[in-house]
Amino acid sequence: MHLARFPRARFAHLPTPLEPLPRLGAALGIDLWVKRDDCTGLAGGGNKTRKLEFLLGEALALGADTLVTQGAVQSNHVRQTIAAGARHGLATEVILEERTGSKASDYMGNGNVLLDRLMGASIRFVPAGTDMNEELEASAEIVRRRGGKPYVIPGGGSNTVGALGYVDCARELMVQADAQDLRIDRLVTATGSAGTHAGLIAGFAALSVDVPILGFGVRAPKARQEENVFNLALATAQTIGAAGRVRREAVVADCDYVGEGYGLVDQGVIDALALAARTEGLLLDPVYSGKALKGLIDQARKGAFEGQRVVFLHTGGAQGLFGYQSVLEPALA
């Protein structure tokens, strides 16, 4: 693969650290490491920043003046997209779906939403269940009618362009592991809009890296999540010249830890957030990385990773904690 063939706007702080988590690992009885993609730099960082380097690269190459994207109210992707636009002088039109149903003042106005407003985005809210693809096109058409040139970014930045960011992460991770003589037995991450998971799978396939990837789902049922990841991994592999290398059995999503739904926090998530914070000073988010760690903790305690060295990909999003104060504070007290 030769990623220099694709337009790219470079602003991420890369490579992100690959670090041991000795105290958290000891608490779980496993050899645990973390790939710190919360440290990518853009407006607090997170995994979407890698995707946005390629998405912004294409947008700028096409002469766009406005980014159009969508997400749930406390979307980490939206925050990073607005920041990328601001950095390059592009306006941003955002649609936020009230996906969780929460009307709490902290959820609707603090955390990522506060940062979205601080960075100057145009924001409109829509009810849960809205057809977000239709809303994206409607916003893009409004931009066109006023003489602008929109560039539409899907939720999570998860298309073949965005997934290139995690093809590159797969390469970066293996270079770091080899430099430290670190054998990785399992890579664990949250899996939602599919771009991170699919990009890693396509990247490992292109590099002939045989490291199993386990995605802990945050929204969709297992069958649908694995299908979404597999289809995007296939398309991404074809884009980078590695068609035919992605195997269906490489796509594994455990969606047993979603709980009551996307963005809804249960005691298992709160316990995971607290354990990471109190053993390692590591701040996770309630929607993605916290839910993935909830799954990792439970599976580790059941012996699923016995004798393995596990790398946890931290997708960022701690900014969203402030949108969940009314949920977290009573449980932590």
Query: Do 40 and 78 lie in a common domain?
Result: no
Residue 129, pLDDT > 90, answer: yes
Residue 333, pLDDT > 90, answer: no
Distance CA 194, CA 187 (A): 15
Averaged pLDDT for residues 152-177 = 98
Place of tokens 């337009």: 7
End-of-domain residue from the set 129, 153, 177? 153
Residue 117, pLDDT > 90, answer: yes
Cα separations in angstroms, 29 against 32, 186, 254, 281: 9, 15, 21, 19
Cα separations in angstroms, 268 against 28, 225, 258, 265, 296: 15, 21, 10, 8, 11
Tell me what percent of the residues of the chain surpass a pLDDT of 90.
99
End-of-domain residue from the set 153, 178, 213? 153
Residue 1, pLDDT > 90, answer: no
Residue 192, pLDDT > 90, answer: yes
Residue 56 has, within 13 A of its CA and on its CB side, a CA count of: 26
Query: Do 259 and 174 lie in a common domain?
Result: yes
Q: Would you tell me the crossing angle of helices 195-207 and 48-61 to the nearest 10 degrees?
A: 90
Query: Do 221 and 316 lie in a common domain?
Result: yes
Tell me what percent of the residues of the chain surpass a pLDDT of 70.
100
Query: Do 272 and 210 lie in a common domain?
Result: yes
Query: Do 174 and 65 lie in a common domain?
Result: no
Query: Do 136 and 163 lie in a common domain?
Result: no
Query: Do 148 and 281 lie in a common domain?
Result: no
Query: Do 192 and 271 lie in a common domain?
Result: yes
Query: Do 91 and 68 lie in a common domain?
Result: yes
Q: Which among 119, 121, 125, 197 is positioned nearest to 157, based on CA atoms?
A: 197
Domain count, the chain: 2
Q: Which residues contact 21 (CB under 8 A, 6 or more apart)?
A: 32, 33, 34, 279, 280, 282, 312
End-of-domain residue from the set 92, 126, 153? 153
What one-character DSSP code corresponds to residue 67?
E
- Joined together, the tokens standing for residue 323 give 């949108």
pLDDT score, position 218: 98
Query: Do 180 and 67 lie in a common domain?
Result: no
Q: Is 105 a catalytic residue?
A: no
Distance CA 33, CA 310 (A): 6
Quote the domain boundaries for residue 210: 3-47+159-331
Residue 306, pLDDT > 90, answer: yes
Query: Do 102 and 143 lie in a common domain?
Result: yes
Catalytic residue among 75, 158, 193, 289: 75
Averaged pLDDT for residues 133-140 = 97
Averaged pLDDT for residues 194-213 = 98
Q: Which among 313, 252, 261, 255 is positioned nearest to 287, based on CA atoms?
A: 261
Residue 182, pLDDT > 90, answer: yes
Query: Do 120 and 249 lie in a common domain?
Result: no
* 174: CATH: 3.40.50.1100
Question: pLDDT tens across 29-78, in order?
Answer: 999 999 999 999 999 999 999 999 999 999 999 999 999 999 999 999 99
